[in-house]
Structures are given as structure tokens and as C-alpha cells.
């Protein structure tokens, strides 16, 4: 696809902040929308690489609600509504506040319908053992479908791969049937993802992929081709162009993304259009957000060339403003 040369002047930081504030106000206005009932039915699914597991194209991210520490009953309601509307790919982590606790009230009765994912933020096998046991206990399950070695860009690959490292521990859990698949996730240094893929022990990768950060971290151009080459499953996160540290302030008029409401559906489609992406993980902030995300996924259609060109043009402007906020690029 030929991209048109940009002729518009580069926006000032003041322009960017003004647009972000308007986006936040508009997203909060969603709370006043009535909840419209959706007909029962399954969401579209895709095969998650060499796992051969069918997963819904929309994954439920639990970080915004978990880290904002909503009351557990409210979190249960939002997570449960997403599941009731067909989302089966559930993404959480030990570090996500109350997220695993809330999910633990939903998982037991739905376990066979869910693809349950958590993350461990450590290089150490010993620490991973402790966190893994806590996740099983809190989620009230005897096994996990996928565990990510989280923040791989901030870890020493040699320590991760060491005999006493987290990868060795996870391989043992996989052999014992407590874990089905091993993954890695993170926000920066895509070169470290590529290095870890060479172990051939990684089944799934989740990285930052969106219409803006393709200009910064470019997981799309570095990690995703390696996933396709090795038939490794791939998930996109930060789909709506997340802001670092945005989770805790969403009830005060700020949201965790810079994408305005009218562009959210196109942002999701951008990720789902990427060759090799099976699921886009999106964390709702409210019940309304959760319902809206499911609606987007139900009616997903690939972007036209014009839509993609316009979205990427705006993404380039955003990337210039927010930069590499998740850590080093290399």
C-alpha cells in the first residue's frame, strides 16, 4: 500500500494534551449510555499458533480494573458480563491488584469454557514457584492454560533460561500438567523477544501492537514475523494506545489510552488485521467499556486501505508526542 506524504503541520504538545483531555471526557460519557442487550452467540475465534487452541479474537484484559482496585463485587460483575457475552480468552496477572481475586469467583463454574492466562514477573524459578502457586489458589483452578514470563524486555535472557530460572520451572509445570503453554509478554526491547523465541520453548507472545507504537517499538515488524516463522501464537495488547500509569486515575476523568471514542473500533481492527495475530487483549475500565469492546469484536471487518492510511497517519503524530514511554526500544 502506498502511503501519502504528510502535509499537515506537526501538532504541538498543547494540541495533543487538549485532544487527550477531550478523549477522556468522551469515554467517560459512555457511562451514561444505556446497556443494550446483545443476542447470545459466540464471538469469532482464531487458532492461537502451534497451541492449536481456538481463542476469541477479543481477550479480556483485567489490569485496568484490577490495578484501580475497584470493589471486588463490581469487578466480578464486569468480568462476568464479558464472559457471558462470549469472551473466553482471559488475561490476568499476580501483579494486577484485585484481578485474580475477582476472577476466582467466576472461574470454577466456567473453567472448561475459558482459556485462562496469567503472568509471572520474575527471572527466578524459586520466586516463580511461589507466584504460580498463589495464582492457582486465587483463581481456584488446578491448572492454567498459559503463563507469560512478563516484562521480558526488562529481564536478562540468560537468567530467564538458566537452570534455576523461570523458564526451567515453567517447563516442569508443563510436564506435570499444571500448565499447558508457556508465553512471554512485555512492552519494550523487542530484540529480547526475538532472542527468547530462538529457544523454541515459547508457545505464545503478547506485545505492544497498535497504530501508534508501530512507529516506536515496532513489534509488528520484528517480533511478529518471527512468530509467524515459528508458528508461535501472537496476542496484541495496548490496542488503544495505552498511557503508562493511566489505570489508577480513570475515575477522575482520565483514561488509560489516547485514542478517542470514534477511533476505538478502527484501532481494534488494525490489530486484528495484522497477519499472525489471533487475539487482541483489551482491558475495560467500566461495564460499558466491556460491552462496547464485545460489540466491536462482533462486527469486526478489516480496514480499507483508506481507513488504514488515515489511522496510521494519526498514529505517527501520536507516537511523536508520547514516545517510548514503556522503556527502551533496544
Given a cut of 80, whether residue 171 has pLDDT beyond it is: yes
Question: Is 48's pLDDT higher than 80?
Answer: yes
In order of their start, the domains of the chain are 44-322 (3.20.20.100)
Assess whether pLDDT exceeds 60 at residue 28.
no
- Average pLDDT, rounded, for the chain: 87
Cell (9 digits) for 64: 485496568
Residue 194 contacts residue 226 (beta carbons within 8 Å): yes
d(CA 222, CA 224): 6
Question: What is the predicted pLDDT for the residue at 255?
Answer: 53
**Predicted structure pTM score:** 0.86
**pLDDT for 14 beyond 80:** no
Give the integer Cα–Cα distance in Å for 309 and 1.
9
C-alpha 306/C-alpha 193 separation (Å) is 32
Q: Grid coordinates in use for 109?
A: 463454574
pLDDT at residue 222 tops 80: yes
Is pLDDT above 70 for 244? no
Q: What is the dihedral of CA 204, 206, 209, 213, to 10 degrees?
A: -130
Using DSSP's 3-state secondary structure scheme, residue 215 falls into helix
pLDDT score for 42: 74
Residue 321: its pLDDT value, please? 93
Write out the three cell numbers for 298: 462482533
Query: Residue 14 half-sphere exposure, CB side, CA atoms within 13 Å?
Result: 0
In this predicted model, what pLDDT tens digit does every residue of 173-204 receive, in sequence order?
999 999 999 999 999 999 999 999 999 999 99
Listed in sequence order, the residues at least 6 apart from 158 whose beta carbon sits closer than 8 Å to its beta carbon are none
pLDDT at 10: 44
Return the exposure string of 242-256: e unless at least 16 CB atoms fall within 10 Å of the residue's CB, then b: bbeebbeebeeebbb
Checking DSSP bridges between strand 115-120 and strand 89-91, what pairing results, if any? Answer: parallel
How high is the pLDDT of residue 18?
45
pLDDT at residue 73 above 90?
Answer: yes
CA distances in angstroms from 178 to 125, 165, 265, listed in the order given: 15, 18, 36
Q: Which DSSP string corresponds to 311-328?
A: HHHHHHHHHHHH-STTS-
CA distance 289 to 27: 8
**The pLDDT value given to residue 256:** 67
Q: What 3-state class would DSSP assign to 149?
A: strand
Strand partners of residue 90:
60, 116
pLDDT by residue (tens digit) across 98-152?
A: 999 999 999 999 999 999 999 999 999 999 999 999 999 999 999 999 999 999 9
Please tell me the predicted confidence (pLDDT) of residue 68.
87
Mean pLDDT of 254-273: 89
Amino acid at each position: 500500500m502506498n502511503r501519502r506524504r504528510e502535509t499537515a503541520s506537526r501538532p504541538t504538545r498543547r494540541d495533543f494534551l487538549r485532544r487527550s483531555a477531550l478523549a477522556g471526557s468522551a469515554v467517560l460519557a459512555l457511562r451514561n449510555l444505556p446497556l443494550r442487550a446483545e443476542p447470545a452467540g459466540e464471538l469469532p475465534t482464531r487458532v492461537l499458533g502451534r497451541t492449536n487452541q481456538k481463542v476469541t479474537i477479543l481477550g479480556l484484559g483485567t489490569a485496568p480494573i484490577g490495578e484501580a482496585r475497584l470493589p471486588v463485587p463490581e469487578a466480578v460483575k464486569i468480568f462476568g458480563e464479558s464472559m457471558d457475552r462470549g469472551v473466553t480468552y482471559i488475561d490476568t496477572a499476580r501483579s494486577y491488584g484485585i484481578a485474580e481475586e475477582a476472577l476466582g469467583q467466576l472461574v470454577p463454574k466456567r473453567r472448561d469454557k475459558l482459556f485462562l492466562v496469567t503472568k509471572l514477573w520474575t527471572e527466578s524459578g524459586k520466586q516463580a514457584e511461589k507466584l504460580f502457586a498463589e495464582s492457582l489458589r486465587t483463581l481456584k483452578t488446578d491448572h492454567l492454560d498459559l503463563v507469560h514470563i512478563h516484562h521480558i524486555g526488562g529481564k536478562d535472557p540468560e537468567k530467564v533460561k538458566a537452570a534455576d530460572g523461570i523458564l526451567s520451572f515453567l517447563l516442569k509445570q508443563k510436564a506435570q500438567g499444571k500448565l499447558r503453554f508457556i508465553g512471554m509478554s512485555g512492552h519494550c526491547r523487542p530484540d529480547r523477544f526475538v532472542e527468547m523465541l530462538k529457544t523454541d520453548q515459547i508457545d505464545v507472545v503478547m506485545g505492544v501492537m497498535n497504530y501508534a507504537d508501530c512507529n516506536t517499538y515496532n513489534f509488528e515488524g520484528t517480533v511478529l514475523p518471527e512468530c509467524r516463522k515459528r508458528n508461535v501464537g501472537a496476542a496484541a495488547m495496548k490496542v488503544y494506545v495505552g498511557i503508562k500509569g493511566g489505570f489508577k486515575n480513570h475515575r477522575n476523568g482520565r483514561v488509560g489510552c489516547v485514542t478517542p471514542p470514534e477511533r476505538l473500533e478502527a484501532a481494534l481492527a488494525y490489530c486484528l488485521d495484522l497477519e499472525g495475530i489471533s487475539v487482541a487483549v483489551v482491558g475495560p475500565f467500566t461495564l460499558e467499556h466491556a460491552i462496547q469492546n464485545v460489540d466491536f469484536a462482533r462486527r469486526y471487518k478489516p480496514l480499507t486501505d483508506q481507513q488504514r492510511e488515515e489511522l496510521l497517519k494519526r498514529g505517527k503524530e501520536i507516537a511523536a508526542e508520547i514516545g517510548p514511554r514503556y522503556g527502551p526500544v533496544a
